[in-house]
Structure 1
Amino acid sequence: MGLMATLPPVIERYELKYVVPRWLVDPISEFLAPYCELDGHSASEADYFYPVNSLYFDTPCYRFLQLRQWGADQRFNMRVRAYGDGTEGPFFAEIKFKSATSIKKFRATLHGAEWPEIIQSGSAASNLSCVDPRERVSRDLFLQLAESYAIEPKIFTCYRRRAYISQMDDYARVTFDINMRYRPQDPLYSTHPYSLCPDEGSCINYDAATIYNDELQYGDNVVLELKATIGAVPVWMIELIRRFELKQIGFSKYLNSSLTEHLENGWTYMPPDRIVA
C-alpha cells in the first residue's frame, strides 16, 4: 500500500464525475492505455479493482451533509480511509474542501497504533516525532476541525476501485468505482463506530445510481471520476469525454449512502437485489 502514502498531503484539482454502465469500463480502459498505467494497487489485483474503505464524520446534527444537500458552493467533508481489509494501518485522515468547481484535498497518514485514539483524544499528533513534516499541516487541520465541529462517525462506505495514473502529466487520474456499499456507524447505535473493516453481512449496496436521478439508465452503476490539476486538464481527457459522450453528474458517496439509509431506512425498505447477504 506504499503508493497511497506517496500522494502529496495537499492536492488542488478538478474532479469530474460520471455514472456509466459496467460494459464501458473495458473500452475506456483501452482508450487510456497510451496515456496512463494502472496504479500500484490496481496492478496487484486480478481484476484490477482494489478495496477502498472510508469512514465519514459529521457534526452531531449532520451539518456537513446538510450543506451537501443544499449544494453550497463552499463546503467540506471529513473522512478516514483505509485499503485492503481495513484492519491495519496506514490509515489516511482526509478533508475535502469544495469551492465552486474545484477541490482542495488535505491528507495525512495515521499509523495503526494511532487509530482511533487520535480522533478520540485529539492530542496524539503533537506527541509523535514520526509525523512527516509535509503532512503536519494536514494532520493539525484535521484535528482542529474535528474538535471545533465535535465530529463523530456517521457512515462507513466501501467499494472496489480501478485507478489509472497519467504517464504524461504531472497529475491526472482516472478511477472506476464499483460495488458501492455502506453501513451506518453512528456511535449512538453502532457497537464499533470507528471500524474501517467491511463486513459482508452488515453492508448494504447503494450502487443502483438511478435511486436519486431519473436521467440515468438502469445499469448505470459505475462511478467514473476524472481528476486533474486545476488549469491543466489533459487534452486526452477532453477527448475521452467527447468520444464516449460522457455527461457529467454529481455523485457523492457520503450523500447517496446517507440518503439510502435515512430515506429508505436501510434494511427495512431496501429492494432484495441490493442487499448483500
Structure 2
Amino acid sequence: MRRLYRRAAETPGAGPDATDDGPVATVASTARTDTASRLHAFNRFEIKYLVPQTQADEIRAELGRHMDEDAYSGASGYPITSLYYDTRGLRFYWEKIEGLRFRRKLRVRHYGTADDLTADSTVFVEIKQRVNRVTQKRRVCLPYRDALRLCSPQGYAPVGGTSSRERAFLDEVATLVGELELRPTVTTAYHREAWVGREADLGLRITLDSRLRGRDRDFHLSSESLNRLTLPPGLSILEVKADERVPAWVTDAAARMDLDLVRISKYCQSVQAFGLAPRSLMHVPDGVDDLLRPAPDEALGRLHVTPARPTTPTGVDDAPTRQGAPTR
C-alpha cells in the first residue's frame, strides 16, 4: 500500500484557497465549466487519518462529545459503493500518485445496500477533483440506468426539462468520457459512520470508513460477486472535512491518540490491490451490459446478475453487508 505518513500534530491549518464560483480547468469549455461548477458543488478542506480498529470506540466517544450523528448514519452507519472510471492508461490514478495540483475522478455512487439497487434507483454521478489544497465535488442524481448511460460511449439524452446548469454538468461528464475514452475500472465499497458539527463547527463533517473492499470486474453495483479487501480489516479511515480550518479539538484528539495522518485514496487502493498496471486480462461480461441496452416499456424491476468467480482465493470480503442500511 502506497502511503505518505505524517504525525497528527503536523495537521495543516490553512483553509480552502478557492471559492464555489472559482474557475476550474476541464476539457469542457471555460464558460460551460464555470456554470457546471455551481451545480451541487461542495468545496472542502480534507484530511485523513488511519485508525486501528482497537481505537474505533474511543474515537466514536470523542466525536459524540463534540458532534451529532449524521441524519443518514444513525448509530449503525450505512454502506457506500462506487464505480470509478479511468482511461486505459489509468490517467486519473497516476495524477493522484504524482500529486498533481489539479486532478479529478469520475464515479457513480450508490448509498445503500446491493439489495436496494434497481435500474430506477437514484444514484449520483460525481466529478471529484482537487484544486491545490481544496477538494471540490460536483454531482447530479440520476436513475442508475441513466447514470451508466451518461458514463458510457452511447451517452445519455435527458428527457423533459433540464436546467442550464444541470445540462452543462451532463455535457462535461459526456465530454470527459468521450475525449478521454473513460471506462469502468474498479469499484470501491465500505461501511460509513458519519458525524456533523454543531454550534461553531457547523461546517465540519467527519466520517469513519471501515471494511474497505472492491473488485476489478463485474461492475454492476448490485453484483453478488465477492470483493477483495483493499485495506487490512483491522484498519479504518477517518476523514475530516471542513469548510475552512479543522477545529483544534480534532487535531488535539488525533495527536493524543497517536493517529497517523495519511495521503490515501480508496480508488488508488483498489487499483493497487488488483495490479491494474497493467490491467487484469480476466474481465468478464456483467449485468451492466444488459442495463445499457434500450429499456422495455415496462419497468425493469430487480436486475439479476450471475456472480462470477472471485478474483483471488484469499483476501476476499468475509462479511458483506447487503441489507438493513438506509439509502439517500
Cα offset, 1:113, TM superposition: 4.7
8 A contact 1:109–1:135 mirrored in 2: no
Matches within 5 A, 1:228-267: 228-229=242-243, 231-262=244-275
Question: Displacement of 1:92 after TM fit?
Answer: 0.5
- Counterpart selection for 2:176 from 145, 153, 156: 145
Unmatched runs of 5 consecutive residues or more in structure 2: 1-38, 283-308, 319-328
CA distance in 2, matches of 1:198, 1:21: 29
Q: How does 1:49-128 map to 2 (within 5 A)?
A: 49-86=77-114, 87-88=117-118, 89-120=121-152, 121-125=154-158, 127-128=159-160
2:227 and 2:310 in contact (8 A); partners too: no
How many angstroms apart in 1 are the aligned matches of 2:259 and 2:313? 28
With over 3 angstroms needed to count, the CA separation of the structure-2 counterparts of 1:132 and 1:41, relative to structure 1, is farther
Query: Does the 8 Å CA contact 1:9/1:134 hold for their aligned counterparts?
Result: no
Please name the residue that 2:192 is paired with: 161
Q: What is the root-mean-square deviation of aligned Cα atoms in Å?
A: 2.8
Contact kept in structure 2, 1:107 and 1:139, CA below 8 Å: no
Tell me by how many angstroms 1:276 deviates. Answer: 3.1
| Identity %, equivalent residues | 28
Deviation of 1:270 after TM superposition, in Å, equals 5.7
Residues 84-93 or 257-266, more deviating: 257-266
One-letter code aligned to 1:204: R
Aligned equivalents of 1:41, 1:58: Cα separation in 2: 30
**Residue 174 of structure 1 aligns with which residue?**
206
Q: Give yes or no for the alignment of 1:227 onto 2:241.
A: yes
Are 1:276 and 2:317 matched, yes or no? yes
- Decide which structure has greater helix share: 1
Q: Calculate the TM-score normalised by the size of structure 1.
A: 0.78
Cα displacement (A) at 1:55: 0.2
Work out which of the two has the higher radius of gyration on C-alpha atoms and give 1 or 2. 2
- Change in 2 beyond 3 A, CA 1:38/1:238: same
Q: CA offset at residue 103 of structure 1?
A: 0.8
User: Deviations 1:160-202 (Å, cap 9, x if unpaired)?
Assistant: 11111112334211111111111113xxxxxx54x11252x42
User: For the structure 1 residues 268 and 82, does the alpha-carbon distance in structure 2 shift closer, same or farther, using more than 3 Å as the test?
Assistant: closer
Is the counterpart of residue 24 in structure 1 residue 38 in structure 2?
A: no
1:157–1:180 CA contact under 8 A, matched in 2: yes
Between the aligned partners of 1:136 and 1:240, the Cα distance in structure 2 is 44
Superimposed CA distance per residue, residues 101-133 of structure 1 (whole angstroms, 9 cap, x where no aligned partner): 2211111111245232222332323x342x577
Q: Alignment partner for residue 35 of structure 1, among 66, 77, 94?
A: 66
- Per the alignment, residue 227 of structure 2 pairs with 203
Counterparts of 1:60 and 1:263 in 2: how far apart (Å)? 10
Length-normalised TM-score, structure 2: 0.67
The offset of 1:263, in angstroms, is 6.8
Give the Å deviation of 1:269: 9.6
Q: 1-side partners of 2:221 and 2:215: how far apart?
A: 10
Out of 95-104 and 74-83, give the one that drifted further.
Answer: 95-104
Which consecutive residues of structure 1, in runs of 5 or more, have no partner in the other structure?
1-7, 186-191, 210-218
